[in-house]
């Protein structure tokens, strides 16, 4: 202990500066201004009114509580910060009473009843948002789209999806001349999507975060480790680096990481505990998003981790200067090195697995014309991931946009998983048990997709079945290996074989006499000789005006069943196609059966 004599020992405080609660809160208010401005510009003046009401409710609630308890009024700006953060977390067209209820709950219930600033057990804004989501879930999940000119003076509620609830349906087709994936990223970055008032523009959030970091108001460890952990978890749970970036920029994750998780009163005192705290936030947020019933998990994750902070500060203590073990040796810095190692591991996982994911998720070029398949990739395990989009006609002309990721094990012809990206928010959701774990043959045979489940809809199930059947047709035409056969005629330009499967590339014509129009048709038709059934149909050329073949009419049918189909029966079975095209395809399929029989006889002879 002799070295201690080299230091001057004096009573605290040892570090003096001009900061106070009021100056810290003022910095937070300044940092939130870009988010507020963007929210008002994107969603209109009504959004500003909601934020003002929320801030007023918080401030007046605190003063009223002080008046009732005969305590001095407080003007440290903390209530205004809570009101501003909560207001920016509200939907742009929430009813006027929502910010009042939320503000009173945040200040009275969460903050003042526990002793006021610094003594509250959880972040008031995050807790109030969770309360509002539970109490007014339908109101708190209604968002409007980005429209500067249309929203500025409007109070109308024209709901629009967010990426977390509606998938890519939430995006415009292009942004600043950029379309596709990077167009989606730019829209999320600049906030031209639906969402809460202050959470959409990530540029504004980052600007506020940089300001708070420079002013040393927040500890950079919390948002950085929170986002780093979330990125790794998204990569693990979704298996896609592209999806990881979209998830990081969606919802309130970035806003919560910068402005809510860093709250002095409810985050750990010790810096290495803050790393552990942020790690827990990232894990819980992603688990809620991926496996929970609600697509957003930031506020709930913050509330849950806030409950662990007192225990962390009590039992996980830093090593004091000069602290020794019972053996008289310096106390090892276990927590310090553990948290440093955790950060290094997370960063290493991100650096290693992002390239691996991009390498193993091989995006496959589409050959053929597809109604639903948008993107296909192959994972390291050999599993194929299909991104499919379509629309299910529900009722009264309403078409529900659908998007799923369908995972297919090609070795066993089995659908291993179906992940909804966008589907009905009114209960018309698909019954995934009809498809998950089922083989292609089982899905072909199962045409009764009605369900008693209150959370599902037969029409959605039917549309998802069509999407999955197209996934298998895509695989059959683009990835399966066939041996070319020595056969061609005036219509069949290519004949191939793979085991019991025969695939024919055949051309034909749909004669639309009433329109004085003849449509050239071309398909790859795969037949299974072991069952004498139609295995797959891939469109190579057909009408672009909607006169398309309704493939489920023929898939899984035997030659005899197709022969017995009358024109009226084909017409009565279709809802999305043209009878004339179906009749032409019927003849083309029967021709393929004839050729398959001839090839089999020739092989046997």
- Claim to verify: residue 523 and residue 437 sit in the same structural domain: no
Query: What was the pLDDT predicted at 384?
Result: 87
State which of 325-329, 391-395, 583-587 shows the largest mean pLDDT. Answer: 583-587
Point out which residues pair with 405 in neighbouring strands. 387, 419
Please report whether residue 324 resides in a domain.
no
Q: Are the C-beta atoms of 582 and 550 separated by less than 8 Å? A: yes
Let me know the angle formed at the C-alpha of 110 by 278 and 316, rounded to the nearest 5 degrees. Answer: 35
- Claim to verify: residue 389 and residue 307 sit in the same structural domain: no
Number of domains observed in the structure of the chain: 4
- Claim to verify: residue 298 and residue 271 sit in the same structural domain: yes
User: Where does the pLDDT of residue 396 fall: very low under 50, low under 70, confident under 90, or very high at 90 and above?
Assistant: low
CB neighbour class for 82 (10 Å; exposed up to 12, middle 13-18, buried from 19): buried
**DSSP helix/strand/coil, 550:** coil
Given 478, 508, 538, which residue is the final one in a domain?
A: 478
More confident residue, 541 or 19: 541
- Claim to verify: residue 559 and residue 454 sit in the same structural domain: no
Q: Are the C-beta atoms of 123 and 78 separated by less than 8 Å? A: no
What is the pLDDT averaged over residues 281-303? 86
Please report whether residue 365 resides in a domain.
no
- Claim to verify: residue 23 and residue 157 sit in the same structural domain: yes
CB neighbour class for 58 (10 Å; exposed up to 12, middle 13-18, buried from 19): buried
DSSP classification of residue 514: G
Please report whether residue 42 resides in a domain.
yes
Query: What was the pLDDT predicted at 575?
Result: 45
- The single residue listed with the structure tokens 């909607």 is 546
Q: Are the C-beta atoms of 160 and 107 separated by less than 8 Å? A: no
> Is the pLDDT score of 18 beyond 80?
no
pTM (whole model) above 0.75: no
- Claim to verify: residue 37 and residue 139 sit in the same structural domain: yes
> Is the pLDDT score of 350 beyond 60?
yes
**DSSP helix/strand/coil, 75:** coil
Question: Token digits for 84?
Answer: 């501003």
- Claim to verify: residue 61 and residue 126 sit in the same structural domain: yes
In order, the DSSP letters of 254-304 are HHIIIIITT-TTTS-SSHHHHHHHHHHHHHHHHHHHHHSSSS--HHHHHHH
What is the pLDDT averaged over residues 72-86? 91
CA atoms of 543 and 520, how far apart (whole Å):
8
Order across the sheet with 533-541: list the strands.
Answer: 483-485, 492-498, 501-512, 517-528, 533-541
In order, the DSSP letters of 379-405 are -TTS-EEEEEEEEEEEETTEEEEEEEE
Query: What was the pLDDT predicted at 244?
Result: 87
Please report whether residue 179 resides in a domain.
no
Query: What was the pLDDT predicted at 162?
Result: 79
List the domain range (segments joined by +) for residue 196.
18-173+189-209
User: Where does the pLDDT of residue 532 fall: very low under 50, low under 70, confident under 90, or very high at 90 and above?
Assistant: very high
Query: What was the pLDDT predicted at 189?
Result: 92
- Claim to verify: residue 501 and residue 406 sit in the same structural domain: no
pLDDT tens sequence across 20-70: 788 899 999 999 999 999 999 998 899 999 999 999 999 999 999 999 988
More confident residue, 567 or 100: 100
Cβ neighbours around 463 below 10 Å, total: 25
Let me know the angle formed at the C-alpha of 228 by 224 and 234, rounded to the nearest 5 degrees. Answer: 145
- Claim to verify: residue 42 and residue 164 sit in the same structural domain: yes
CA atoms of 206 and 220, how far apart (whole Å):
12
Please report whether residue 548 resides in a domain.
yes
User: Where does the pLDDT of residue 377 fall: very low under 50, low under 70, confident under 90, or very high at 90 and above?
Assistant: confident
pLDDT tens sequence across 556-566: 889 999 988 87
Please report whether residue 368 resides in a domain.
no
CA atoms of 511 and 581, how far apart (whole Å):
8
What is the pLDDT averaged over residues 568-589? 72
- Claim to verify: residue 498 and residue 600 sit in the same structural domain: yes
More confident residue, 163 or 253: 253
Please report whether residue 131 resides in a domain.
yes
- Claim to verify: residue 164 and residue 24 sit in the same structural domain: yes
- Claim to verify: residue 459 and residue 408 sit in the same structural domain: yes
Q: Are the C-beta atoms of 170 and 183 separated by less than 8 Å? A: no
Closest alpha carbon to 172 in 149, 145, 197: 145
What is the pLDDT averaged over residues 93-110? 93
User: Where does the pLDDT of residue 6 fall: very low under 50, low under 70, confident under 90, or very high at 90 and above?
Assistant: low
Given 436, 454, 478, which residue is the final one in a domain?
A: 478
150-164, 170-184, 465-479, range with the lowest pLDDT: 150-164
Query: What was the pLDDT predicted at 315?
Result: 78
In order, the DSSP letters of 36-72 are HHHHHHHH-HHHHHHHHHHHHHHHHHHHHHHHHTT--
Question: Token digits for 412?
Answer: 């066993």
User: Where does the pLDDT of residue 416 fall: very low under 50, low under 70, confident under 90, or very high at 90 and above?
Assistant: very high
User: For a pLDDT cut of 70, what percent of the chain falls above it?
Assistant: 83
CA atoms of 93 and 95, how far apart (whole Å):
6
Given 446, 478, 510, which residue is the final one in a domain?
A: 478
> Is the pLDDT score of 573 beyond 90?
no
Please report whether residue 136 resides in a domain.
yes
CA atoms of 605 and 601, how far apart (whole Å):
6
User: Can you list the positions of beta strands (E) in 132-263?
Assistant: 174-175, 178-179
Query: What was the pLDDT predicted at 320?
Result: 66
Mean pLDDT, the chain, rounded, equals 83
Q: Are the C-beta atoms of 210 and 180 separated by less than 8 Å? A: no
């Amino acid at each position: 202990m002799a070295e201690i004599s080299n230091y001057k020992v004096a009573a605290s405080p040892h570090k003096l500066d001009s900061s106070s609660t009021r100056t810290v809160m003022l910095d937070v208010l300044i940092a939130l201004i870009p988010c507020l401005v963007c929210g008002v510009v994107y969603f209109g003046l009504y959004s500003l009114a909601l934020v003002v009401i929320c801030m007023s409710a918080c401030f007046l609630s605190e003063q009223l509580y002080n008046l009732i308890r005969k305590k001095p009024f407080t003007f440290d700006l903390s209530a205004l910060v809570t009101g501003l953060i909560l207001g920016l977390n509200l939907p742009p067209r929430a009813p006027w009473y929502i910010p009042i209820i939320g503000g009173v709950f945040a200040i009275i219930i969460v903050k003042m009843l526990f002793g006021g600033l610094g003594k509250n057990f959880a972040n008031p804004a995050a807790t109030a948002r969770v309360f509002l989501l539970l109490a007014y879930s339908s109101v708190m999940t209604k968002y409007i789209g980005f429209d500067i000119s249309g929203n500025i003076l409007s109070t109308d509620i024209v709901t629009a999806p967010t990426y977390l609830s509606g998938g890519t349906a939430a995006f415009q087709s292009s942004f600043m001349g950029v379309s596709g994936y990077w167009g989606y990223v730019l829209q999320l970055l600049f906030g031209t999507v639906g969402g809460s008032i202050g959470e959409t523009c990530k540029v504004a959030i980052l600007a506020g975060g940089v300001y708070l970091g420079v002013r040393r108001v927040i500890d950079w460890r919390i948002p950085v480790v929170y986002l780093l952990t979330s990125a790794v978890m998204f990569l693990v749970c979704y298996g896609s680096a592209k999806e990881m970036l979209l998830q990081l920029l969606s919802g309130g994750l970035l806003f919560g990481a910068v402005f809510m998780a860093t709250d002095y009163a409810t985050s750990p005192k010790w810096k290495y505990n803050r790393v552990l705290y942020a790690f827990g936030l990232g894990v819980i947020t992603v688990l809620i998003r991926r496996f929970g019933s609600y697509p957003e998990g930031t506020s709930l994750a913050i509330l849950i981790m806030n409950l662990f902070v007192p225990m962390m500060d009590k039992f996980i203590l830093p090593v004091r200067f000069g602290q020794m073990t019972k053996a008289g040796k310096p106390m090892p810095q276990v927590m310090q090195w553990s948290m440093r190692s955790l950060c290094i591991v997370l960063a290493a996982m991100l650096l290693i697995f992002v390239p691996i994911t991009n390498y193993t998720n091989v995006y496959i070029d589409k050959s053929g014309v597809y109604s639903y398949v948008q993107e296909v990739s192959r994972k390291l395990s050999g599993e194929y991931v299909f991104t499919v989009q379509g629309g299910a006609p529900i009722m009264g002309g309403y078409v529900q946009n659908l998007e799923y990721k369908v995972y297919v094990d090609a070795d066993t012809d089995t659908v291993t998983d179906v992940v909804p990206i966008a589907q009905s928010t009114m209960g018309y959701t698909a019954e995934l048990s009809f498809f998950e774990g089922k083989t292609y043959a089982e899905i072909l045979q199962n045409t009764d997709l009605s369900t008693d489940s209150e959370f599902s809809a037969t029409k959605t199930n039917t549309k998802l079945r069509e999407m999955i059947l197209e996934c298998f047709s895509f695989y059959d035409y683009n990835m399966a290996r066939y041996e070319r056969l020595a056969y061609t005629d005036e219509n069949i330009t290519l004949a191939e074989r793979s085991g019991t499967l025969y695939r024919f590339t055949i051309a034909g014509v749909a004669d639309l006499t009433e329109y004085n129009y003849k449509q050239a048709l071309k398909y790859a038709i795969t037949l299974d000789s072991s069952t004498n059934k139609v295995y797959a149909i891939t469109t190579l050329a057909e009408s672009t005006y909607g006169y398309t073949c309704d493939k489920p009419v023929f898939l899984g049918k035997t030659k005899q069943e197709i022969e017995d189909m009358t024109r009226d029966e084909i017409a009565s079975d279709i809802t999305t196609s043209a009878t004339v095209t179906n009749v032409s395809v019927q003849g083309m399929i029967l021709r393929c059966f004839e050729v398959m029989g001839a090839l089999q006889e020739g092989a046997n002879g």
